[in-house]
Amino acid sequence: MVKLTLLFRQPSDISAFEEYYNKNLALLEKMSGIKRRQACFVLGSPAGKSPYYRILEFYFADRGELDTALLSPEGQAAGRNLMASIGRDVELIFSEVYED
């Protein structure tokens, strides 16, 4: 299984961020092949305030499914919207997931 993780940095305007976040979430959820989704609100870290505000994770069967989703018209639309609305305040990571 592989995972697409979106790390959203602390926004300067929380209400504007939430509006963009919800629109982006609706677009991202249209991607094909999603096996599981987790949306997290960051509470903090051992050092105090975290640099991240929200974490969003999408799980796919394998890297091929993830690539297909990202390259699909839905994935491309979500990516364009994400970069136009939140851009530098989000970090994307691909990872392989091992579970017992």
Confidence of residue 70 (pLDDT cuts 50, 70, 90): very high
**Burial letters for 15-50: b for 16+ Cβ neighbours within 10 Å, e otherwise?**
eebeebbeebbebbeebebbeeeeeeeeeeeeeeee
Query: pLDDT by residue (tens digit) across 19-69?
Result: 888 888 898 999 999 999 999 999 998 989 999 999 999 999 999 999 999
Residue found under tokens 């209400």: 15
Domain boundary assignment for the chain: 14-34+61-96
Mean pLDDT for the stretch of residues 67-72: 96
Stretch (H or E) spanning 63: helix 63-71
